[in-house]
């Protein structure tokens, strides 16, 4: 369980995170989406007590993170896979964490094999690791305390397609067993495949927050008729929001069935009726964040 209430972070005149609130429930994967610089990492650092917020608060497993007696046992955190001492071996990195948390050292080997770093790779220094290997080590590190909550910042970065598929399975399984996952990404496809809920952030503000289905359905349906003018009037009479496109197609904020009923009632001939072709989350993401991203870039 993660609960974020009105978190705000200002650096001088710049507001990096502005009044961000959301919740992540056990059993769900929450995708935290936004372009680079949108405030995802700052929000996650505030949740994990590494960055003091200017205002607002957050709790993990019912407590402010900094009040958790042994946070690694409750929350697995991966904020930056590159933030490891290059002179330590992969095994040593996990061993240090296992010891800090009071976890049995057998777990180090268990995790190393889980992320396919067992064998010679475990004894190599992190300096020689590829970004993908560092991500795997980071994921092992997040899991080592057997936590019930995961907070992962861009964990898919640097993983190959097979690795991304594997990680999806890992997170899905973790959530299905009652775990809570907060996963940030600017790779929309990655999140779309695994998340139940989406929190989209742009320019430090939350621009969309809901279940994946809700947010995807927001695009409405596209309908083309032999006589678009008549259909548009009928749809408007039925109280539906209609926008006429340039090609004679109508975008309607409704379910396909509602539009079909209206069309049938006036015996309209339909040429096309389908959900708006949004390109999935990507278009939603781009439309929601485009303006904000430009603002941030300025």
Partner 1 sequence: MTATLTETRAPMAAPRTFPRPGLIRLTGIELRKMADTRAGLWLIIATALISVAIVVIQLFAADPPDQTFVNMFQTTLFPVAVLLPVLGILSVTSEWTQRTALTTFALTPQRQRIVVAKALAAVVLGILALVPSLGFAAIGNVIAGGMDSAAGSWSFGGLLLAYALLFNVVNVLFGLAFGMLFMNSAVAIVLYFVVPTVWSVLTQMISGLKTTSEWLDLSVTSTPLFENAALSGGEWAKLAASIGLWVVLPGVLGLVRLLKREVS
Which residues contact partner 1 by CB under 8 A?
Answer: 26, 41, 45, 48-52, 65-66, 68-74, 77, 79-80, 82-88, 92, 96-97, 99-102, 107, 110-111, 114, 116, 125, 141, 143, 146, 148, 162-163, 166, 168-170, 172-174, 177-179
**Residue number, 94 or 235, with CB nearest to partner 1:** 94
Instruction: Centre a 10 Å sphere on the Cβ of residue 105 and count the other Cβ atoms it contains.
Output: 12
Nearest to 171 by CA among 296, 45, 53, 78: 78
Nearer to partner 1, 99 or 233 (CB): 99
**In the complex, minimum distance from the CB of residue 65 to partner 1, in angstroms, rounded to a whole number:** 6
SS3 231: helix
Closer by beta carbon to partner 1, 20 or else 60? 60
- Round to whole Å and give the CA distance between 99 and 238: 65
- Minimum distance from residue 36 beta carbon to partner 1 (Å): 15
Q: Which is nearer to partner 1, 60 or 288 (CB)?
A: 60
Residue nearer to partner 1 on the CB measure, 78 or 234:
78
- Tell me whether residue 109 or residue 213 sits nearer to partner 1 (CB atom): 109
Tokens of 237: 């009479």
Which CB, 84 or 135, lies closer to partner 1?
Answer: 84
Shortest gap between Cβ of 150 and partner 1 (angstroms)? 12
> Taking the complex as a whole, how short is the minimal distance between the CB of residue 255 and partner 1, in angstroms?
34
Alpha helices in the chain (DSSP H): 40-47, 71-74, 90-101, 106-114, 120-123, 131-143, 161-176, 188-194, 212-217, 228-237, 256-265, 281-297
Residues 6+ apart with CB under 8 A from 12: none
Strands 205-211, 197-202: pairing is antiparallel
Q: Provide the minimum distance between the beta carbon of 173 and partner 1 in the complex, in angstroms, as a whole number.
A: 6
Structure tokens at 131: 């970004």
- Spatial separation of the C-alpha atoms in residues 204 and 42, rounded to whole Å: 9
Rounded to a whole number of angstroms, the minimum distance from the CB of residue 186 to partner 1 is 18
Question: For residues 238 and 255, is the Cβ–Cβ distance under 8 A?
Answer: no
Minimum distance from CB of 264 to partner 1 (Å)?
46
């Amino acid at each position: 369980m993660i609960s974020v209430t009105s978190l705000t972070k200002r650096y001088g005149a710049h507001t990096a995170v502005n009044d961000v609130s959301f919740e992540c429930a056990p059993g769900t994967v929450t995708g935290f989406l936004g372009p680079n610089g949108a405030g995802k990492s700052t929000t996650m650092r505030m949740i994990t007590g590494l960055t003091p917020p200017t205002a607002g608060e957050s709790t993990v497993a019912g407590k402010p993170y900094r009040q958790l007696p042994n946070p690694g046992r409750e929350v697995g955190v991966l904020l930056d896979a590159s933030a490891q001492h290059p002179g330590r071996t992969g095994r040593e990195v996990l061993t240090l964490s296992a010891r800090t948390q009071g976890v049995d050292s057998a777990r180090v080997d268990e995790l190393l094999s889980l992320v396919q770093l067992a064998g010679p790779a475990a004894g190599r220094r992190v300096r020689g690791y590829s970004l993908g290997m560092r991500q795997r080590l980071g994921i092992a590190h997040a899991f080592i305390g057997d936590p019930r909550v995961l907070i992962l910042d861009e964990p898919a970065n640097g993983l190959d397609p097979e690795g991304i598929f594997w990680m999806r399975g890992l997170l899905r399984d973790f959530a299905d067993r009652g775990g809570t996952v907060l996963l940030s990404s600017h790779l929309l496809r990655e999140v779309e495949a695994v998340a139940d809920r989406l929190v989209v952030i742009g320019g430090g503000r939350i621009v969309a927050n809901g279940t994946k289905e809700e947010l995807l359905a927001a695009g409405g349906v596209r309908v083309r008729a032999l006589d678009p003018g008549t259909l548009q009037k009928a749809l408007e009479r039925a109280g539906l929001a209609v926008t006429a496109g340039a090609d004679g197609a109508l975008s309607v904020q409704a379910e396909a069935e509602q539009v079909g009923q209206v069309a049938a009632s006036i015996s309209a001939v339909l040429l096309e009726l389908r959900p708006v072709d949004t390109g999935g989350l990507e278009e939603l993401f781009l439309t929601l964040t485009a303006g904000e991203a430009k603002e941030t870039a300025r």
